[in-house]
Structure formats: C-alpha cells, structure tokens
Amino acid sequence: MTEQNEYPESGRVRARVIGTPPADAPIVDTDPIHAPEGVPGVIPQDPVKARKAERLVALLFLVTFLAGAGFIASYVIFQVGTIDKTAASNFALGGTLALALLALAAGLTVWVRQIMPKYNLVQERHDMRSDDGTREYVKETFVQGADESGFVKHRLLRRTLLLAAAPLGLAPLVLLKDLGPLPGTALRHTVWGEPTKDGKPRRLVVEGSGQPIRAADFNSPGGILSVVPEGYEEDLNALAKATLILLKFRPEELKSGTNLNWTHDGIVAYSKICTHVGCPAALYEQTTHHILCPCHQSTFDAADGARVVFGPAARPLPQLPIGIDEEGYLVAKSDFKVPVGPSFWERGDAEAEARENAS
C-alpha cells in the first residue's frame, strides 16, 4: 500500500510505502552537531569501559602488526621447492595474513562499538540533489566523525593503528619480488640435457617411486608410465618442465610423425606438459593411442609424433630422444629439441636455435 506525500521544497508528489515516516512527520532533533550537550538520544560511552576497550584495541592492533611482520618474514624464510616446503610456506603465509586481518577487523569493531558515542538519528527525506547547505552539513559531519572517533585524542590507538597498518601496506611491495627475475633462456632447456655427476646420461625413473626403468621390463604394448629425471624427483621447478609420459608401442603402430631414431624398441617418451597452458596431459586411450589433456581437452596422437588432433593446443607434445645405458636402463640421449610447455614470445627463436644446433 502506498500514499501520496509532497516535498515541501519542490512541491512534487511522490508515492510513499506504508511503514515509512510521512514527509511531515516531526523530526527528533538529536543531531549532535547542532544539539546541545545532554540532548536526549545521545548515549556517551562509560569512561571506565571505554578505557578498558582502548587497551583491548591497542592489543589487537599490536597483534596485527606482529602478524603482518610475520607474513613478510614467512615469505622470506619459507622457500618452496618441495611439496613439504610449499605446504609449510602456504600455512605460514595464510595463517599470518588471516591473523593480521582478523585482529585488525576486531580492533576496529571494538573501537566503534565501545569507544565512540552512540546516538539515534532520524533522517528527513528530501530531494536527491544536494544543495549548498547539505554539502556544508556533510563536511561538518565528517569533521565531527573524525573527532568522535578519537583518532586525534587517543594517542595510543592512533599509534598502534598506524603500527598495525605498516606491515600490511608493505606486504604488496614484498610480493613484487615474484614478478622477477626474467626467465632468460631457462624456458628453452630442461635438466634432461644435463649429465649426471659421473658424466653419464640421465636415467628415466618412475614418478613417485624413483625406480629406474629397464627397457626389457617395459615390454607390454599399450603400457604407460609417468617418468621424471633421476636426481630431480623432488625438484618442483625442474619437474615443471621435465616430466614425461612413457609409452610402449608395437613397431608397426608407430607412424611417420614419430622420430624413430629417438625411440627404443617401440618405447617413446613425450613431454607431459600440455602445449596449450601447461596442464599435465596424462590421460591415455590405448585403442586410439590418444593422449588427452583433462583441462581443455587437447588431444594428441601418440603414435604419430603426438600431433594435435583436437582441442586448443597449437603444437605437438615434444618428443625426448631416449636410449639405454650399459645396464639396459632407459636414459635421455639429449634434451628436447624444442621448448616444452605452452608457447612464449621467444619460442620461435629457441626452436630456430635448436634446429641450428642440430644441423
């Protein structure tokens, strides 16, 4: 239900929802800007309780400062590189940041509810356009709010609030460190091209167990293994580029797209890093010899050099040249001849360099 009300200033009529005060309703003059001291409706805080609340707020702001400093310290102290180190880093960063924000919010809430005065206001309805008097009123209200907050009066609160905000303000600057340094040529190479300490080719080992793979034992057509370089089983930075999928084919199943000189007895090794956005392409259909990336459904023909047969990926999965050592274990004969993973600006230069080195 509605009824018609007039704005006295403009003479316009506007429908009013039942339950709201009429335009000519009496206004309770409890505006603390214009009302004298002791006006009904203004409820000052109890000085004793306010003093206790002030100490509590200062304590919460101090906790915020310590937690914010702890966030920065955790970023410097807890480095990543292994799953356990990454988990510890995430726990430290998340815990300290959550504590800092929680303590800051709690301190501000106690400040408003237990230190600032309380009063009731009834706002008169008026035209949407603000006149000069309203602008001046807003200015006075802002100044009054700043005075009521006690930001200038309560030096302990002011100083501890600024102290609490300092680490949170510096945190984004610290995180800028993750924007660099530039990768340079690091994206062009993997650890497969690095020999072991004794100068021997690097073996392929099963991901998770670290077990070297003897070619004679990997002899079932259709078999698939997730493979990592020996000595780098826990190095996440290296595995982000060097993880492989190892497949076993019958000789007649391999097509012209596969470089047979880089295979051994029907065993082929492809990069596991999808060339679209870098997801692990690890799903395999044995009957079609298709490798599927679960993120965006890029599909590669493993029997034909892992060429793209479907999806957004723009190039095949790179093939790693493999062979066996004197003990019959599978090893990498060299690094990938083209960069692995998603495309990047300098990939064309890297592939040209690889072709030049190969020739």
Q: For the domain bounded by 191-357, which CATH number is listed?
A: 2.102.10.10
Task: Note the pLDDT tens digit of each residue in 8-41.
Answer: 444 544 454 444 445 554 444 444 433 345 555 6
Helix or strand or coil: residue 312? Answer: coil
Distance in angstroms (rounded) separating the CA atoms of residues 235 and 79: 12
| Residue 65 clears pLDDT 80, i.e. is over it | yes
Distance in angstroms (rounded) separating the CA atoms of residues 271 and 340: 7
- What's residue 292's pLDDT? 93
HSE of 191, CA atoms in CB hemisphere, 13 A: 21
Collect all residues with Cβ–Cβ distance below 8 Å to 300 and sequence separation of at least 6. 270, 281, 290, 291, 292, 293, 306, 307, 308, 309, 313, 316, 317
Band of residue 273 on the pLDDT scale cut at 50, 70, 90 = very high
CB 266 within 8 A of CB 250: yes
Q: What pTM did the predictor assign?
A: 0.54
CB 350 within 8 A of CB 335: no
- What's residue 196's pLDDT? 83
| Residue 146 clears pLDDT 90, i.e. is over it | no
| Residue 333 clears pLDDT 50, i.e. is over it | yes
Question: What's the mean pLDDT when you consider all of the chain?
Answer: 82
Higher pLDDT, 352 or 174: 174
- What residue spans define the domains of the chain? 42-119, 191-357
Helix or strand or coil: residue 307? Answer: strand
- What's residue 82's pLDDT? 73
Both tokens of 115, joined, read: 């230190």
Read off the pLDDT of each residue in 225-236 and give the average, rounded to a whole number: 90
Q: What are phi and psi of 8, to 5 degrees?
A: -65, -30
Task: Note the pLDDT tens digit of each residue in 300-325.
Answer: 999 999 999 999 998 999 999 999 99
- What's residue 118's pLDDT? 79
- What's residue 345's pLDDT? 57
Which of the residue ranges 117-131, 219-233, 342-356 has the most confident prediction, judged by mean pLDDT?
219-233
| Residue 358 clears pLDDT 90, i.e. is over it | no
CB 285 within 8 A of CB 292: yes
Read off the pLDDT of each residue in 116-127 and give the average, rounded to a whole number: 73
Collect all residues with Cβ–Cβ distance below 8 Å to 146 and sequence separation of at least 6. 152
| Closest C-alpha among 53, 51, 65, 50 to residue 161 | 65
Distance in angstroms (rounded) separating the CA atoms of residues 52 and 213: 69
| Residue 147 clears pLDDT 90, i.e. is over it | no
Distance in angstroms (rounded) separating the CA atoms of residues 166 and 153: 21
- What's residue 126's pLDDT? 63
Higher pLDDT, 225 or 27: 225
- What's residue 198's pLDDT? 84
Distance in angstroms (rounded) separating the CA atoms of residues 107 and 61: 6
Collect all residues with Cβ–Cβ distance below 8 Å to 12 and sequence separation of at least 6. 6, 127
